[in-house]
Structure 1
């Protein structure tokens, strides 16, 4: 395409890349905006089978707090209306539920930080669900707060353009510009 455009006497650059259709939603975020507990949870799809999770919280009581991804983003009655822990695999073997995020260690200032990864978790399936925080390590109790998971721009998905006025036409590629061959 670049050669064809340059044959017309113009300079051209083709920017963009193709991505698998399931990978189009590659980042998500859940924000906790008080009044007592504040925080943000960021999800980034590393590959089709691995998600990176980073979280920061403040306003929690010191000690251990469980947290999870729950089935629904319904916050009409806070965490009580978010359903059960998300488990699309319906795993009956006793293994950990996919939405179980483990335990946060909250320091004496009420702050917690988490950085880790979760296998088999796909961000495209999380949009509209909720992240729930619990008062203790007991996930059978109702959570103390929750936040809906929303789509977020991932790395390289929110480019800003700067015109340098060098006469070069910049062409943006979209997913429609890529053809997959069937072998």
Structure 2
């Protein structure tokens, strides 16, 4: 379900003077949904406690003319774990989705996925982190309790059932969800998949309704990898692809061209 619960976001921001600090503080502090802002000029660091998506906060910072990269996420409690999935597929769909364990029974899911057709798309954690056959090898929905497919708020649901995200007319879905069954420590190493159609949440009459939500083909997927919490990332965006902060900022959010080197296919 959508959530207004706050989280702390740590950004690296290119700043060189006090006017930079004032500009960043000014644009953030007047925004509804931002609870607090702390800026460290020496470290070029901005810490924001907010109910906005990470993309919304990054866009606000960059509206001042400064470049920004999300370095880490955290909650109000002791660090319980964070993860990230970089989604890509055979088509133009790509995105980044982050998981933050706010408490033992609440997980925040913050993401942006581009290249979708406007409308609703099913989003699910799958049992395998196997991309050897693209998204086809990700296995079934993550379902350790052996339940039928359902909606995120249902007691009868797969743990991996995250419901639907909605793409705007420009093909972008930006979302911030909170889930009671997902645990970061259980999903690291598994995969996240976005589907071509709307998940019927187990309420349809199609034979696949109680299995997959009849949400169509798998458009894009990515392995869920451990990522940095607050103040844990001195350089890289995540532990999965070796991209430094500012290199990452100039590269696609996922897919071809993302890594430091995309070596040509070997002639075997």
Give me the TM-score of the superposition, normalised by structure 2. Answer: 0.47
Q: Deviation of residue 60 (structure 1)? A: 0.8
The alignment partner of 1:61 has SS state of: coil
Residue of 145, 151, 175 corresponding to 2:226: 151
Aligned match of 1:166: none
- Kept in 1, the 8 Å contact 2:107–2:182? The answer is yes
Query: Quick check: 1:54 aligned with 2:110?
Result: yes
Residue of 125, 144, 147 corresponding to 2:186: 125
Cα separation, 2, equivalents of 1:120 and 1:159: 31
Name stretches of at least 5 consecutive residues in structure 1 with no aligned partner: 1-22, 161-183
Query: Quick check: 1:72 aligned with 2:132?
Result: no
Cα separation, 1, equivalents of 2:117 and 2:132: 24
Which protein, 1 or 2, shows the higher relative CO under an 8 Å CA cutoff with sep ≥ 6? 1
Q: 1:115/1:148 Cα in 2 relative to 1: closer, same or farther (>3 Å)?
A: same
The alignment partner of 1:155 has SS state of: coil
Cα separation, 2, equivalents of 1:73 and 1:53: 18
- Kept in 2, the 8 Å contact 1:80–1:142? The answer is no
Residue of 83, 88, 100 corresponding to 1:28: 83
Superposed CA deviations along residues 53-90 of structure 1, whole A, max 9, x for unmatched, are 01101111111111100000111111111011101222
- Kept in 2, the 8 Å contact 1:79–1:142? The answer is no
Aligned match of 2:161: 100
Name stretches of at least 5 consecutive residues in structure 2 with no aligned partner: 1-77, 151-155, 200-211, 236-268
Q: 1:78/1:159 Cα in 2 relative to 1: closer, same or farther (>3 Å)?
A: closer
- Kept in 1, the 8 Å contact 2:81–2:229? The answer is yes
Structure with the higher strand share, 1 or 2: 1
RMSD between aligned alpha carbons? 2.3
Number of residues of Structure 1 aligned to a counterpart in Structure 2: 138
- Kept in 1, the 8 Å contact 2:80–2:102? The answer is no
